Amino acid sequence: MQQADTKRPSHRFDVLLGWMSAAPLALILLLTFADVLMRYLFAMPVRGSSEMIQFAMALTIFAALPVVTRQREHIVVGIISDLVRGRVRMVKLLFCDGLSLLALGLMTWRLGIQAFEYIDSKSATIVLRLEMAPLAFVMCAFSLATCVVVALQMVQTLRTPPSTEGAA
């Protein structure tokens, strides 16, 4: 088992985004606990808790996306992966990464448009009046970071000679 090189920028990137994903997740946990406790003990739920949880969920998912992508830890169906080797495996990987990059690029583009629409319409949540534009911009930035990660993975795939071994 290899240990991660903690001095590498990619490791620092993973750690930073890991914390940026864990913090809103912790908020969800604490807020849900407090909301249930307040609701059942005092019949007073935490005002705006569902809005805060929705924002935190978006931050959790989008902050984790570049890390999960860089480590190639998305859920996959390995039926084809186990059957192909060498150059065919490389082509399959490039094809899948290309599709991912296309989908992420479209998502990034649409999030950017949505963020500017939120600014124009001054969209905010109903209870707490949290502005929607900053969240959309942050989601767009994380999505763009994921696009960069996928593009770098494609470059790395092209630079790495195809192996003749099967899947590990």
Whether residue 21 contacts residue 63, with contact meaning beta carbons closer than 8 Å, is answered with yes
What range defines the domain where residue 154 resides? 9-159
| 2 inside domain | no
Does the pLDDT value for residue 168 go beyond 70? no
pLDDT in tens, 32-62: 999 999 999 999 999 999 999 999 999 999 9
pLDDT in tens, 78-119: 777 777 788 888 898 899 999 999 999 999 999 999 999 999
| 152: Cβ contacts below 8 Å, ≥ 6 apart | none
| 164 inside domain | no
| 1 inside domain | no
pLDDT in tens, 110-166: 999 999 999 999 999 999 999 999 999 999 999 999 999 999 999 999 998 776 554
| 121 inside domain | yes
| 4 inside domain | no
Q: 31 pLDDT band (50/70/90 cuts)? A: very high
C-alpha dihedral sign at 129, 133, 138, 139: positive
| 123 inside domain | yes
Distance CA 113, CA 39 (A): 38
For the chain, the domain total comes to: 1
| 62 inside domain | yes
